[in-house]
Amino acid sequence: MTRIIPSRYELLAPAGQPDCVRAALNNGADSIYLGMKALNARRNAKNFDYSQLKETVEYCHLNGAKVYLTLNTIAFDEERKQVIETLQQACELGLDAVIVQDIGVASLVKQVAPELRLHGSTQMSIHTRKGAEFLKEQGFSRVVLSREMSLEEIRDVAKAGIELEAFVHGALCMCVSGQCYMSGMLGGRSANRGMCAQPCRLPFSAGAPGRCDLSLKDLSAVQRIPELLDAGVYSLKIEGRMKRPEYVAAAVSACKAVVDGNQPNMEVLQSVFSRSGFTDGYLDQKLSPQMFGVRSKEDVTAASAKLLKQLENTYQKPTARIPVWMKFQLKSDCPSQLTLWDQDGNQAHVSGVVPETAKHVALTEEKLQSSLGKLGGTAFYLKQFQAELEDGLSLPVSVLNGMRREAVQQLEQKRSAIHPKTFFPIKESKIPLTPPKITSLRVEFERFDQIPLEFMDQFEWIGLKLEELSKYITKLAPWKQKLVVIPPRAMFGIEQQVIQQLEILKQQGIEDLLVQNLAQIQIGKQLGYRLHGGFGLNIANSMSIAQLEEWGFQDCVVSPELTAKQMKILKSSLPCGILAGGYLPLMLTRNCPIKNQKTCRQCKRQSWLTDRKGKRFRVACSDGYSEIYNSDCLWIADRIDDFTNISFFTLKITLETPEQSREMVQNFLQKQKIELPITKGLYYRGVL
């Protein structure tokens, strides 16, 4: 294997606790990412308080490593002050970047902490070139790619000209990150809030009872790092902020072995943690049942006490990571001089005593280098030594050692010094509360035959999937002004095809686009569409709504994880709506779980998963992805008066027959209940 030039990559390690920082750096990581006690996607990890974070920044910067702070969850309005305080602390400590999911939080970073680099979290669901281009235009310096992408898709996104970060090892969620509502809906623990309960690891069977058909093996693309770098990835990310330090040590050392041109020890890596082995199936789009696995008893017991102790020993002592240059001057009748410097421009200088005339053996350059070059136990190793030395002079070894220690201490202090970034205090927003409006009904249809044309006059607008609208636009011509095109929620490998179809519809007079992901903002703007925000944008606070308004949106559907009470305090001049009826997609997946038991021909796009309680969850596929729908129908027709700050209600018709669709529309217009197992969603329960 060929050694990879260090400037071509970054090895990024997780740190869920302080010990993980040492495990990462002493095994070769270039950067770490971590979270404070709240507002991050791993709130169940130990995480870091302010003093621990300060020590970590000092330690990492001493060792030439960067520190990225995760603010990668959606935030509620009541947390705005906490977000600002966290950003102020990040500036005080001179962190190198913040990783964000929430577009409102991102806008706040740009206002109060413009010197902090912005990294777009994988929770932003970026998986196409247009999505990456959009983040670049918004001032992001890096995007963390969706885990489901192929090498060719990554190569295409790299053309956007923004730094790419990709996962190379760690847990694989079944759902595209940022689009999972299963944990929140079923148990009140939101994956978008860092509290995922991992229901996908529980039995959800596509066939025989008890199977775990949502549980993927862990990703390991460690041996394919050269291919990822060749595709345009810069930052090689290891997942695992919930894992112990020994896991971090094993994963980092395996990745480091590859970039150094050596073979990684995959046996050790699998012993530390796996779920029936590893998979890299997404990179080649070889999606199969072999990608699925559970954590077996053998997996749990594979990490022996002896192995864990060996891994622990790898990070108990400092590793020499930083090259330094040293110059020593020794002249008669002058104080001895030692200068120590690094490649970043930091310099230490120590003056010693005046040398004596040697009585027995004079100092030589070799002896000086042998004594002064003893940098063990520090972050430094000697790259080059220079000596300006007059003959016949001597200094006690204790003096030389003291000068070396003082120079090292000076350089350590300079390297670890905190360099705060500018923080701009912000006044509270004065955006007025949205005035009460006459509420309207909007309906999103999966298929043309679901549209009850006799009710068209009572809809503010209707949305129809891109393929269906393209096919039936002539039949819908009388209502063209009410039509909104709904593009695919995921566009893996089909972005250009979607753009072409949208361009044709625009030429045919369709003016409105329901934006399902950030890439579609870029696409919609370039094609001249009026933009409407869909639920997948995870709009959960007034800051995000204001950001959409700044981008020219007409309105938006707020997050289904908000409560009715939280909606009442949203501040916005942009009309906001909610999903009010229909089966909510709990997961958006690229790997169809039904294929564990059936072929596509056997499935006919009509299959279910059954959980351990016997509840059935419909799975439907289109456009190269699958959606897993809630077992119960969301229905609040009889409670719409509770949503006084909401301008419109959206019915989402997906699985229904034409007759069922007509009945749902009629019952909603009459504010009646329906004869189905129903749920009020999270509008009264909320999420953690």
211: tokens are 């199977």
Domain boundaries of the chain, sorted by first residue: 7-172+219-262, 322-416, 440-583+633-679
Whether residue 628 contacts residue 617, with contact meaning beta carbons closer than 8 Å, is answered with yes
The CA distance from 488 to 327, in Å, is 63
Q: Phi and psi at residue 82, in whole multiples of 5°?
A: -65, -40
CB 182 within 8 A of CB 559: no
Q: What angle do CA 201, 205, 211 make, to 5 degrees?
A: 65
Alpha-carbon distance 194 to 380, whole Å?
37
Common-topology check for domains 7-172+219-262 and 440-583+633-679: yes
What's the pLDDT score for residue 600? 82
Can you tell me which residue has the tokens 């290891």? 238
What are φ and ψ of residue 599, in 5° steps?
Answer: -85, 165
Q: Rounded to an integer, what distance in angstroms lies between the CA atom of residue 155 and that of residue 175?
A: 22
Cα angle 453, 459, 461 (rounded to 5 degrees) comes to 100
Q: Which helix (H) or strand (E) holds 14?
A: strand 10-14
d(CA 618, CA 608): 4
Residue 486 backbone phi and psi in degrees, to 5: -110, 105
CA atoms within 13 A on the CB side of 71: 29
Alpha carbons 632 and 368: distance in angstroms, whole number: 78
Burial class (CB in 10 A: 0-12, 13-18, 19+), 678: middle
- Sort strands 440-445 and 461-465 into parallel, antiparallel or unpaired: parallel
Residue 605 amino acid letter? R
Euclidean distance between CA atoms 199 and 297, whole angstroms: 19
Which single residue is written with the structure tokens 């148990």? 187
8 A C-beta contact, residue 458 and residue 662: no
* 3-class secondary-structure state, position 129: helix
Are 59 and 109 in contact by the 8 Å Cβ rule? The answer is no
Could you give the CA distance from residue 255 to residue 219 in angstroms, rounded to a whole number? 13
DSSP letters along 307-368, please?
A: HHHHHHHTTSS----EEEEEEEEE-TTS--EEEEEETTS-EEEEE-PPPEEPSS----HHHH
| Residue 175, both tokens | 């759902």
The token duo for 472 is: 């039936």
Q: Which of 92, 190, 110, 189 is nearest to 420 (CA)?
A: 92
For 7-172+219-262, the fitting CATH number among 3.40.718.10, 3.40.50.300, 3.40.710.10, 3.20.20.70 is 3.20.20.70
Q: According to the model, what pLDDT value does residue 412 have? A: 98
Helix (H, G, I), strand (E, B) or coil at 576: strand
Q: Which residue carries 């920082």 as its tokens?
A: 21
CA 580, CA 648: separation in Å to the nearest integer? 9
Burial 486-501 (b: 16+ CB within 10 A, else e): bbbbbbbbbbeebbeb
Structural contact between residues 381 and 375, judged by C-beta atoms closer than 8 angstroms: yes
Contact 545, 597 (CB under 8 A): no
Q: Tell me the Cα Rg of the chain.
A: 29
Residue for token pair 């696409």: 523
User: What is the C-alpha separation between 158 and 606, in angstroms, rounded?
Assistant: 37
Spatial distance between the Cα atoms of 452 and 449, rounded to a whole number of angstroms: 8
How many residues are there in the chain?
Answer: 688
Sequence-ordered list of residues with C-beta below 8 angstroms from that of 303, at least 6 positions apart, any chain: 246, 271, 272, 273
- Look at residues 506, 505, 342 and name the one whose alpha carbon lies nearest to residue 411: 342
Tokens of 51: 């003093």
For residues 515, 520, 525, 530, the Cα torsion angle rounded to the nearest 10 degrees is -20
At 460, list the tokens.
Answer: 């503010």
Supply φ then ψ for residue 124, to 5 degrees. Answer: -80, -5
- Opening angle at CA 267, ends 265 and 271, nearest 5: 125
d(CA 623, CA 491): 7
Q: Rounded to whole angstroms, how far apart are CA atoms 231 and 158?
A: 7
Closest CA to 64 of 114, 28, 111, 88: 28
- Angstrom distance (rounded) from CA 25 to CA 30: 7
Rounded Cα distance, 251 and 139, in Å? 31
Residue 76, both tokens: 């509620």
Q: What is the pLDDT of residue 307?
A: 96
Q: Encode burial over 44-77: b for 16+ CB neighbours within 10 A, e otherwise.
A: ebbbbeeebbbebbbbbbbbbbbbbbbbbbbbbb
Q: Torsions phi, psi of 213, nearest 5?
A: -85, 10
Q: What is the SS3 assignment for 584?
A: coil
- d(C-alpha 272, C-alpha 303), whole Å: 5
How far, in whole angstroms, is CA 360 from its chain's centroid?
66
Topology given in CATH for the domain delimited by 440-583+633-679 = TIM Barrel (3.20.20)
Residue 428 pLDDT: 66
Helix or strand holding residue 110 (H, E): helix 103-112
Characterise 229 by phi-psi region: left (phi > 0), alpha (psi -120 to 50), beta (else).
Answer: alpha
- Give me the amino acid identity at 76: F
Averaged over successive runs of 10 residues, the pLDDT of the chain (688 residues) comes to 78 97 98 92 85 98 98 96 96 98 98 98 98 98 98 98 98 97 96 94 93 97 97 98 97 97 96 96 95 94 95 94 97 96 97 93 93 95 96 94 97 98 82 60 97 96 97 97 98 98 98 98 98 98 97 97 96 94 98 90 85 95 95 96 94 95 96 94 96
- End-to-end CA distance of the chain: give it in Å, rounded: 47
